[in-house]
Structure 1
Amino acid sequence: MFIEIINQDGKYNSSYRGMVNIQYVHQIQIIKGRHRSYELHINLSNSPSIELLGTKKECERFYNQLQEVLKTYQQLSKTHTLIFPPRLPSEPFIDKDQGQEL
């Protein structure tokens, strides 16, 4: 699952726009920078980290949004098989191709 991260605010001279596969997000952390600025580091397991500069409040807000996206992704990735039409839990599904109950 990909998300687009856009940092177009020119006040920090660090614009960024890119697609990130959230499967590779390894770590997210907020680091106190210089001159009362903060950095949000998104460490990826397959490429260099993304560093976004902002205020503490901006970094915390974006951190929380990203955590929600990751939580949703983890919940969705646990679903391996969806059956249509949906059946009641008491009705077993039998895979006609393999003759197995799922």
Structure 2
Amino acid sequence: MIAAPDRTAVLAALRDSVREHADGEGHLADNRVLNGCRAAVYCRTGHWFAKRRAGEVVAASEPVFRSLVTEALSSFERPRAEALTLPPADVRAFLAWVAGRVDEAAVATGA
């Protein structure tokens, strides 16, 4: 039997993931944003949500990022070869916000 990783380990992995997604190499922008949504929602709830649901949660609760997340959700529905180009500066700002949520969760956990 394999034990589930503890929250500290998950938050460390999320930090690495957000950092990699912020670099943008090898990831479509919509995927970067929606994975960021998943990370932010996990930090709030301690539960994993599917990309679409996590995007809906963040779009509803974070007005400053609503447009970006809504556009990422729309793009995610398209064939991957037809994904939309999202504004790079907005994606970076969003992922910086996500990184802050991960850091806050780590501090609260004592990680």
Same fold (TM over 0.5): no
* Greater strand fraction, Structure 1 or Structure 2: 1
TM-score scaled by structure 1?
0.37
Larger radius of gyration: 1
* Greater helix fraction, Structure 1 or Structure 2: 2
Structure with bigger RCO (C-alpha 8 Å, 6+ apart)? 2
